[in-house]
Chains A and B, each alone.
Chain A
Amino acid sequence: MGSQPNRPLSPHLQIYRWSPQMAISIFHRATGFVLATAGMMTLLWWLSAIGGGTESFATFQKYVVSAGDGATGWQTASNWFFRLLALAVTYSFFQHLFSGLRHLVLDMGAGYELAASRNWALAAFIAAIFATALMALLVASRVLGV
């Protein structure tokens, strides 16, 4: 319609008092954005590196995973950038997964009581942090050989 340009918008984040319920909502968005961009682009790079043969996989390995003993400063920096990115994507994955499951339960009309909604929001945060830590330990021991 466009005839009422100054209609009120819903208030932004800084208006609300922080609580597990509102935090998990904005975290669902933020982690979804991380997965949609960094997560999917890295997945596509990984798939095309596998499909591209040993040489293209070695390039992926060198910049993303580890450049080995002869690493230049630039490659080491790149490795650490992607390790931090991988940690962010892993956390985003589990956070989005658990808060997504919470959404599916809410969509069925369950879990809206004050205590229940607060507890399940907290549980999703805790589960995401534990799952991320577990994955990080697994990757550190198996892939990076730490």
Chain B
Amino acid sequence: MGDGTGIGKVRGLGSAKHGGEHWIKQRTTAVSNLLLTVWLLISLILMPNFDQGTLAMWLAQPIVAVPMILLLVSIFWHVRLGLQVFIEDYVHDDALKFGAITLLNFYVIAGAVFGIFTIAKLAFTGSPA
């Protein structure tokens, strides 16, 4: 291990062992998105009507609330990975890139937590009048 050039500093250390992690996670969440959005699409097509009462009764059931929470986790995770690459490809200024990635992290975590809380509250305490 040398201490001159950048490549010299890392040569011989071997890989960091998670080079494929981002790629694999993007594909894993793609497959779970596929399953969960097809479930949501079929559920919506089979819905008798779109009144608040009907939808609230439907969403409060464990068999619906659980896959809906999974759907939010899966999609927002996929959004995190996908928009990260989007930002890395198009935002070249280091400070702007750091800021954009930070905002992306805030967006996906806030969005997922907000949605999960909404579903859990409805499932646990029922629909308000």
Contacts and interface: CB of A to CB of B under 8 A. Distances in A.
B61 interface: no
B37 A44 contact: no
Interface residues of B, number: 32
A14 interface: no
A33 B86 contact: yes
Contacts of A43: 115
Nearest to B114: A44
B75 interface: yes
A48 interface: yes
A54 B52 CA distance: 6
Given A57-B52, A100-B34, A50 B59 contact: yes
Nearest to B54: A50
B99 interface: no
A143 B50 contact: yes
Contacts of A53: 52, 56, 127-129
Interface string A32-51: 11011000110110011111
B86 to A, nearest CB: 6
A58 to B, nearest CB: 8
A104 B32 CA distance: 13
Interface of B: 6, 27, 30-31, 34, 37, 45, 50, 52-53, 55-56, 59, 68, 75-76, 79, 82-83, 86, 92, 94, 111, 114-115, 118-119, 121-122, 127-129
Interface of A: 1-3, 9, 29, 32-33, 35-36, 40-41, 43-44, 47-54, 57-58, 93, 97, 100-101, 103-104, 107, 138, 143
